[in-house]
Amino acid sequence: MTGVNRGLALALVLVLSSLSFAPAQAQDSPAPGVDITCENEETTLFLDYIGMGDYYAVGTCTVENPSTFSENVEFSYDGDGFVASGPESATIPAGDSVESKS
């Protein structure tokens, strides 16, 4: 075997041996993110009168975390001219969900 062939053979052995030590990858989605589903998303939310000029309505949304990471989520609300409130934030463990009512 000549010096060139021996060098190519050694390089080939080194490349092939490094491929056998490739790290395993998880099958779950590694990308962080959440899915939001609201019960009243496609319907009109009607206001109920509770007296003394006050009205209220409750919108319910579920925030799911399908990733393998814990997610810190901040909520913001838009009442379109009305006062809207609810939790400001939540920590959702991996594979879990929380329900938010506003």
pLDDT tens digit string along 3-28? 556 666 666 655 655 555 555 555 55
Q: What is the pTM of this model?
A: 0.60
SS3 content of the chain, % helix, strand, coil (to 5): 15, 30, 55
Q: Classify residue 8: in a domain, yes or no.
A: no
Most distant CA pair in the chain, distance: 98
Q: Classify residue 38: in a domain, yes or no.
A: yes
Q: Classify residue 7: in a domain, yes or no.
A: no
The neighbouring-strand residues paired with 90 are 73
Mean pLDDT across the stretch 24-44? 73
pLDDT at 24: 54
What is the DSSP code (8-state) at residue 35? E
Q: Classify residue 5: in a domain, yes or no.
A: no
Q: Classify residue 65: in a domain, yes or no.
A: yes
Q: 35: how many CB neighbours lie within 10 A of its CB? A: 11
Q: Classify residue 35: in a domain, yes or no.
A: yes
Number of domains the chain contains: 1
List the domain range (segments joined by +) for residue 92. 28-101
Q: Classify residue 68: in a domain, yes or no.
A: yes
